[in-house]
Amino acid sequence: MMPQDGRPRPCQSGQSTGALRRASREGRHYNARMRLLAACALAAPFAAVPGPSAPHFVARVSDEGALRPAEASIAINPLNTDHIVVVSLQGMQPGAPARISNFSYASIDGGRTWRTAAAPNDHQRVHGDDAVTIARDGTIYHSYIAFDGIRVPRPDRASSGIYIRTSRDGLAWNEPVAVVDHINTAIPFEDKPWVGVDDGEDSPHRGNVYVAWTRFDVYGSPDPQHTSHIWFSRSRDGARSFTPPVQVSDKPGDARDSDGTVEGVVPSVGAKGEVYLAWAGPAGLVFDRSLDGGYTFGADKVIASLPGGWDIPLPGIERHNGMPVTAVDHSHGPNRGSVYVTWIDERNGDPDVFVAVSRDGGVTWSAPARVNDDPKGNKRAQLFTWMAVDPADGSINVVFLDRRDTEGTANAVTLARSVDGGRTFVNHRVNRPVFPSNEKVFYGDYLGLDAHGGRVAAIYPVVVDGPGQLVLETAVFDFKPATQETLR
């Protein structure tokens, strides 16, 4: 089909192949390459997710030499929303002390261009589970795990620990501080930590830094005597030191790292300093809270079922999960203080994204609201959800991979947005070509998303051909506050 001007589209032009190859070789032409690929994709069947798409841009984050960057987290600086920081793991070049280490990326032009900084974890250990958040004063907090010797009967080296480090620009970092560190042993194993900061205007605990995670007695063990629990630690001095960790979960999970394991805790803080935790496990979606700055927690409460469990195998992906993400509305709008949890389950016969909300601090919860708006039960999967609630306008923003209208195991990217307290969502497709899956490449366990002042920035890996195998990419939307309209 020819466009109205009679000229061939880039993917039909005899010169397009050479243009794409040249653009692929030159990292500085990544955005031009994306425009060419997008034009080809839009001309092909199953190329993009249907539905409205608010104007936005897509840009490459990781550099040309990056090897399998994954498990990326993103944060927008509330002091300057043009300053955006991403952290991730990356594969290391042959001969490096560790097989995988950590990298950070920073943009000062709203996500259009990026600088990369290698930030080794200083322990010559395997690295993973990066998370980043930026406090109201502009301090950047980066949490991660560093370990060695898991799933090895008698390893030559063994260790397991959680670390936090801080920065002001996202490129130069202070020395990491151990939240917990097991030296010369990988038992117990600390996994999937996430960091949160108390920024509440009315909080008596303002400035506290919180970390929550899963502790395995023995990682991956099928022994029923080996269990998993949710653990928690806090800092009252800006992450210069942390209290001894405490167990939060009342009931354990198994240690297999699957549906029977308790995992997926992301700490979120309420307007008055309440600490909210939710996680997935054999009982379903479980919630707990602290009303004294993380010093004590109450009784666990099941707030939703998880049909199909949280470990959701999907074709083309080495592993995929529907673990939850928790966030709170800090705006001064009508839903201030609302607590939201998003996750994926199979209650409709295929993996869908859901959000539940509590308007009373976690005492009662709404029924799950379906976020993706394709037909129910169509056997089309949504993958890897993440959520951010804008503290300026209270909008709920959710990103996920989307197979609603792709062939085979190809993936699109969708941003869903609610401006009515999570009652309804509008799905906006990210204007980038669909990309394949590769079950031989570790894709990671999550995507990343942040929102502030109407700016919504997503981070996700894209599977590509070539030695790097994955590329980190961002999609940035600028919405008019509390609307589905954009400024562009």
Under a CB-based contact definition with an 8 Å cutoff, are residues 450 and 457 in contact? yes
Rounded CA gap, 396 and 28, in Å?
33
Which pLDDT band, with edges at 50, 70 and 90, does 61 fall under?
A: very high
pLDDT tens digit sequence for 371-417: 999 999 999 999 999 999 999 999 999 999 999 999 999 999 999 99
**Helix (H, G, I), strand (E, B), or coil: what is residue 29?**
helix
Phi, psi for residue 23 in degrees, rounded to 5: -65, -35
The pLDDT, as a whole number, for residue 96 is: 65
Evaluated on CA atoms 63, 142, 362, 78, the torsion sign reads: negative
At residue 2's C-alpha, the angle toward residues 20 and 36, to 5°, is 20
Under a CB-based contact definition with an 8 Å cutoff, are residues 353 and 372 in contact? yes
Of the candidates 447, 387, 450, the residue with the CA atom closest to the CA atom of residue 110: 450
- The single residue listed with the structure tokens 């930030």 is 119
Question: In the chain, what percentage of residues exceed pLDDT 70?
Answer: 88
- CA gyration radius, the chain: 21
The two structure tokens encoding residue 467? 């030695």
Domain range 45-478, CATH class: mainly beta
Burial class (CB in 10 A: 0-12, 13-18, 19+), 415: buried
Does the structure show a pLDDT above 50 at 45?
no
pLDDT tens digit sequence for 211-262: 999 999 999 999 999 999 999 999 999 999 999 999 999 999 999 999 999 9
The two structure tokens encoding residue 431? 């204007």
Under a CB-based contact definition with an 8 Å cutoff, are residues 57 and 476 in contact? yes
Q: Estimate the crossing angle of helix 30-43 against helix 16-25, to 10 degrees.
A: 140
Establish whether the linkage from the previous residue to 204 is cis, with ω within 30° of 0: no
pLDDT tens digit sequence for 77-115: 999 999 999 999 998 777 666 677 889 999 999 999 999
SS3 content of the chain, % helix, strand, coil (to 5): 5, 40, 55
Rounded CA gap, 254 and 277, in Å?
19
Task: In the chain, list all ranges with CATH 2.120.10.10.
Answer: 45-478
Does the structure show a pLDDT above 70 at 168?
yes
Average predicted confidence (pLDDT) for the chain: 89
